[in-house]
Amino acid sequence: MGTGALLGLAPAPDYTFLIYCSPVGSYHKDKKRLISSLLIITGALNLKVEDKLYKAISGSGGTGGIKSVTNYAPVYTAITDAKANGFSDVLFLDSATGKYIEEASACNVFVVKGNASFTPAIDGTILPGIMGKSIIEIAIDLGYRVLERAVSVEEMLGADEMFCTGTAMVVNSIASVTYKKTRMDYKTGPEALSAKLRTTLVGIQTGCVEDKKSWTVLVD
């Protein structure tokens, strides 16, 4: 955080390093439900595709792939409008063509078709997520093919399932996506891939599932 005695438009001469620690609940707390003694899963999300505002500018070397306030500020107008119309979140498109999905306001997205899962490639406009990276490994272990590449709106609308990943929400299924006047519903529930991924990951985090990847660290 810049704290120098400066009002002009310039880098702050002094900085303060801050760490906030706070207990948190489910990211979408109004959608919470208990499905087992192991896991509390949030309800499936309903997303709106934003086709007028862009979260990051393609090919500009901007801050779309950097975890800073400049990566979150652009979503406020779009997400406020979406929630006012009954949606959970916003799904942004690439700014170059407007034909490919990128990410939601604060999470990576995955599209599932048959035994394959697709997620937009990290190319500078999408924030790399450790949760998404972990989920890719688990999905492969479960026998799914995972491809990181461009995912078109048309491909998304023809998918069987969609879900999103992030540090706060872990894994959350997506019940529907609305693009202009078209709404597509997706598979959710305990048999969905998203539920299996979440159960496995949360199980590793809580010690209920063996950690074969050495992701967890025992604290004395």
Helix axes 130-141, 193-206, angle to 10 degrees: 110
Cα-based torsion angle of the residue sequence 195, 199, 202, 206 in order, rounded to the nearest 10 degrees: 160
Identity at 139, one-letter amino acid code: A
Tell me whether residue 157 is exposed, middle or buried, using C-beta atoms within 10 angstroms of its C-beta: 0 to 12, 13 to 18, 19 or more: middle
- φ and ψ at residue 133, rounded to 5 degrees: -65, -40
In angstroms, the CA 51 to CA 67 distance is: 23
Question: Cβ distance 78 to 50 under 8 Å?
Answer: yes
- Quick check: is 67 catalytic? yes
| Candidate list 32, 67, 99, 213, residue with the active-site label | 67
- Pull the structure tokens for residue 204: 């590793």
- Pull the structure tokens for residue 102: 């990128």
The residue whose two tokens read 């299924």 is 173
Catalytic residues: 67
